[in-house]
Chains A and B, each alone.
Chain A
């Protein structure tokens, strides 16, 4: 069984501030972890993925995430927020050969000027 918890359904930051979006997972097998971004009325776009290589994963648009097994976490960060980062972000987990991708409920990021 696998599950994802995203802490905070809505996060608001100022432009130029640090972005931190939290994701905790549970998985009965070594996990594969993903972050996706969704802009209004669009599909999901892959930001980055962890597939058991380096624990610090760099993605597109300046985002990165660190896999911490001891904390079962995969938080998403960006040093300096930009207005164009405003969107909904989803963390997802799968495991082993299991096709199933389990999504968190999403975090809406607002960036204030």
Chain B
């Protein structure tokens, strides 16, 4: 158990809908990362938050947004969903204070599997 909790584990919805994925990082971790994993694209970095502030942005679509709350949990909001958004969405956390751990170790949750029909 990595200590990172993600909900829901599975989600089935229709095109055009909006969903929210939730992540609780490991106790004490200030950084939260969101990744998308699909069969053809592998693990793609979406966005990182550190202590409530956006720190880095990757290949995140404008239809997607995220935030990190004062209690350090994070939410990823996906709107106007398309079939191609079907994927596994992972949240990860790290112990970084001012930057990610030098070893690059991220602790991943078990993911939220999104299916868009």
A in complex with B? no
Residues of A at the B interface (CB closer than 8 Å) are none
Residues of B at the A interface (CB closer than 8 Å) are none
